């Protein structure tokens, strides 16, 4: 028998099956992972996806994501790489950058973009790293009020987000009565706190932000204004909600929510002339470009995910089409139909409606809460998530449900379909109330869930609703790769 360089016996059979391992389809190579994907695809197909941050990426996006671009290392930026063989990667990254600016109508003289962030959270952390010194001050919307973890969340007991560990964060809040952001209080607190950065961005807020007002607060305090448009970047691209670019120094986003690409992040920054001295005519330039680029790489990340950059580039091309604009208009129309129908069924929608792709339903007046409703709806193949409502007393028992329309609109649902979806949700919540009655109002969520799974009459009711939901969902095709 031959031996390898290390002296170990060399097995020709293993060597030839090693070759097979690299060319076999997933189904033949790894049945376990293959069947998990199959199960998940079935779950997506037979369920109603109302999680506001989710969407179904197109086939073309997923093809780019599954390509050989996965294999290539390219630390650095186009034209300045730490690896060879990056000719086509440079071409790809520059294309992605051009499209990102084009989608938002940005002049390349005044705006640049970094397309390397792995996702939304790393993108945000890169902005803070670039613009705020360690323990410098940041203000963002509080998590229970609809902000994102990365905007600096902490509790009485714990600094939860790294943003609150490495920087000092002070939240701003919504008005518990109206559900709208309390800008007056934000202004007052910013005066005292003197933040270096104010974040205008939300994960659960159904209204447009007042970017102009936030910019005034930033200017009054010598702060940067960053929009984190993760949830709404597709709506902004289609022009169906106000664009943050006019008023912000920096804009970050994810690419997989309303923008409907693969999972990644983008950071847009102003560049060129910042101001001109009226007396001397001397220009001051923005210095954001080098700060942000060096925070992403080499500051926080290694090699860019080139397959993801390709997926983002494809999504951006799609986002520039008239079809995409119609899609986003439909997302908003569907959301309003959902809000209207639920209001008609006696539900309280926070702020009374929506300007965008999501609503927050306050279940307190119905006598239940988000956690219980979420469990029952999940058992009926309706996916959404519990969320705190303005004025909630306990973070442990959030009383709201966050419902979003981007994913199901990608499957082709229209307003009347969303009226049907609202009725399914209503039946799920009626069921929640029945189970709650049976188990007692004081029961824990665990006891409630046990009752839901254990009692035959509830199981029957759930199965009946689930069967209806499944046959309704089956009417709408699932975007993506044909095999899954």
Ligand X SMILES: *Cc1c(COP(=O)(O)O)cnc(C)c1O
* Strand bridging mode 80-81 / 76-77: antiparallel
Judged by CB under 6 A, the stretch of 200-208, 290-298, 358-366, 442-450 that binds ligand X is 200-208
Instruction: For residues 220 and 366, give the distance between their C-alpha atoms in angstroms, rounded to a whole number.
Output: 43
Based on its alpha-carbon atoms, the radius of gyration of the chain, rounded to whole angstroms, reads: 25
Give the nearer residue to ligand X in terms of CB position, either 169 or 432: 169
Dist. CA 131–CA 181, nearest whole Å: 25
Token pair, residue 282, equals: 């001397």
* Contact characters 233-272, ligand X, x per CB under 6 A: ---------------------x--------x---------
Q: Three-class SS of residue 2?
A: coil
Nearest residue relative to ligand X (C-beta): 120
Give the range of 54-62, 100-108, 196-204, 286-294 binding ligand X by CB under 6 A.
196-204
- Scanning 28-36, 113-121, 165-173, 302-310 for contacts with ligand X by CB under 6 A, the matching segment is 113-121
- Inter-residue contact 308 to 65 (CB < 8 Å): yes
Q: How far is CA 3 from the centre of its chain?
A: 53
Active site residues: 204, 256
Least Cβ distance, residue 75 to ligand X (angstroms):
21
Stretch that binds ligand X, among 3-11, 115-123, 391-399, 413-421 (CB under 6 A): 115-123
| Contacting range for ligand X; rule: CB under 6 A; set: 116-124, 210-218, 286-294, 301-309 | 116-124
Strands 273-276 and 283-285 come out as antiparallel
* Residue 296 Cα distances to 87, 199, 214, 323, angstroms: 21, 19, 26, 33
**120 near ligand X (CB under 6 A):** yes
| Neighbouring C-beta atoms of residue 241, cutoff 10 Å | 22
When asked if residue 466 is in the footprint of ligand X (CB under 6 A), the reply is no
Smallest distance, ligand X to C-beta of residue 305, A: 12
Binding residue (CB under 6 A) for ligand X from 69, 230, 296, 422: 230
> Where in 84-232 does DSSP place strands (E)?
111-114, 137-141, 168-172, 197-201, 224-228
Of positions 44, 169, 203, 399, contacts ligand X by CB under 6 A = 203
> How far apart (Å, rounded) are the C-alpha atoms in residues 417 and 385?
20
- Smallest separation, CB 409 to ligand X (Å): 18
201 binds ligand X (CB under 6 A): yes
CA separation for the pair 464, 262 (Å, rounded): 35
Chosen residue from 44, 116, 150, 368 binding ligand X by CB under 6 A: 150
> 137 with 192: CB under 8 angstroms?
no
The number of residues making up the chain comes to 484
Q: Quick check: 116 binds ligand X (CB under 6 A)?
A: no
Q: How far is the CB of 233 from ligand X (least distance, A)?
A: 10
Residue closer to ligand X by CB (options 148, 466) is 148
Span of 183-191, 226-234, 238-246, 332-340 interacting with ligand X by CB under 6 A: 226-234
Cis peptide before 94 (omega within 30 of 0): no
C-alpha span between 109 and 207 (Å, rounded): 31
Q: Which lies closer to ligand X via its Cβ, residue 203 or residue 410?
A: 203
First to last CA, the chain: 44
Closest C-alpha to 262, from 5, 437, 480: 480
Question: Which residue's entry shows tokens 């506001």?
Answer: 52
Exposure string over 4-28, b if 16+ CB within 10 A, otherwise e: eeeeeeeeeeeeeeeeeeeeeeeee
Going by C-beta distance under 8 Å and a sequence separation of 6 or more, which residues neighbour residue 470?
46, 47, 381
Q: Residues in contact with ligand X, total (CB under 6 A)?
A: 15
CB of 131 to ligand X, least distance (A): 16
Distance CA 129, CA 113 (A): 16
Residue number with CB closer to ligand X (140 or 428): 140
Nearer to ligand X, 139 or 379 (CB): 139
- Under the binding rule (CB under 6 A), the answer on residue 54 touching ligand X is no
By CB under 6 A, tell whether 119 contacts ligand X: yes
CB of 141 to ligand X, least distance (A): 9
User: Closest approach of Cβ 151 to ligand X, in Å?
Assistant: 7
Q: Which of 44, 47, 49, 53 binds ligand X (CB under 6 A)?
A: 53
Between 231 and 249, whose beta carbon lies closer to ligand X? 231
Shortest Cβ 364–ligand X spacing (Å): 24
- Inter-residue contact 54 to 478 (CB < 8 Å): no
Q: Is 148 in the site for ligand X (CB under 6 A)?
A: yes
Is 301 a residue that touches ligand X (CB under 6 A)?
A: no
357 binds ligand X (CB under 6 A): no
- In this complex, which beta carbon is closest to ligand X, that of residue 148 or of residue 366? 148
Q: How far is the CB of 251 from ligand X (least distance, A)?
A: 12
Among 44, 74, 97, 121, binds ligand X (CB under 6 A): 121
- State both tokens at 379: 């058992």
Distance between CA atoms of 402 and 385, rounded to whole angstroms?
6
Which positions touch ligand X (CB under 6 A)? 53, 119-121, 124, 148, 150, 201-203, 228, 230-231, 254, 263
């Amino acid at each position: 028998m031959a031996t390898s360089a290390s002296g170990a016996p060399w097995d020709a059979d293993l060597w030839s099956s090693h070759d097979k391992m690299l060319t076999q389809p997933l189904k033949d190579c790894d049945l376990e992972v293959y069947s998990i994907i199959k199960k998940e695809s079935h779950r997506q197909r037979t369920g109603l996806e109302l999680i506001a941050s989710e969407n179904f990426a197109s086939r073309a996006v997923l093809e780019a994501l599954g390509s050989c671009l996965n294999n290539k290392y390219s630390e650095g930026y186009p034209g300045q790489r730490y690896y060879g063989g990056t000719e086509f990667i440079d071409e790809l990254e520059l294309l992605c950058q051009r499209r990102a600016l084009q989608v938002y109508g940005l002049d390349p003289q005044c705006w640049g973009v970094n397309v390397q962030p792995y996702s939304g959270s790393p993108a945000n952390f890169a902005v803070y790293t670039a613009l705020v010194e360690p323990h410098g001050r940041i203000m963002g919307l509080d998590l229970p009020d609809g902000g994102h973890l990365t905007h600096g969340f902490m509790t009485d007991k714990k600094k939860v987000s790294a943003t609150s560990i490495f920087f000092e964060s002070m939240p701003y809040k919504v008005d518990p009565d109206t559900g709208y952001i309390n800008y007056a209080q934000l202004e007052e607190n910013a005066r005292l706190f003197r933040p270096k950065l104010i974040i205008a961005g939300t994960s659960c807020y159904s209204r447009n932000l007042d970017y102009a007002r936030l910019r005034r607060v930033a200017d009054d305090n010598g702060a940067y204004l960053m929009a984190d448009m993760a949830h709404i970047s597709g709506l902004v691209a289609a022009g169906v909600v106000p664009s943050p670019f006019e008023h912000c120094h920096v804009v970050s986003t994810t690419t997989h929510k309303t923008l409907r690409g693969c999972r990644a992040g983008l950071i847009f920054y102003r560049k060129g002339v910042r101001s001109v001295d009226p007396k001397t005519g001397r220009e001051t330039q923005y210095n954001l470009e080098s700060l942000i680029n060096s925070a992403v790489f080499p500051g926080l990340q290694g090699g860019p995910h080139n397959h993801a950059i390709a997926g983002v580039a494809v999504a951006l091309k799609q986002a520039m089409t008239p079809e995409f604009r119609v899609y986003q208009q439909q997302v908003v129309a569907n959301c309003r139909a959902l809000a209207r129908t639920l209001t008609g069924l006696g539900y309280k929608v926070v702020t009374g409606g929506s300007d965008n792709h999501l609503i927050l339903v306050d279940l307190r007046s119905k006598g239940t809460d988000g956690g219980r409703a979420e469990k029952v709806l999940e058992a009926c193949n309706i996916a959404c998530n519990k969320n705190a409502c303005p004025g909630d007393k306990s973070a442990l028992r959030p009383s709201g449900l966050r419902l979003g329309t981007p994913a199901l609109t990608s499957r082709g649902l229209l307003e009347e379909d969303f009226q049907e979806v609202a009725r399914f949700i209503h039946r799920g919540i009626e069921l929640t109330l029945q189970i709650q009655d049976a188990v007692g109002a004081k029961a824990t969520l665990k006891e409630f869930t046990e009752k839901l799974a254990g009692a035959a009459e509830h199981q029957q009711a759930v199965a009946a609703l689930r069967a209806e939901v499944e046959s309704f969902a089956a009417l709408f095709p699932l975007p993506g790769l044909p095999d899954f």
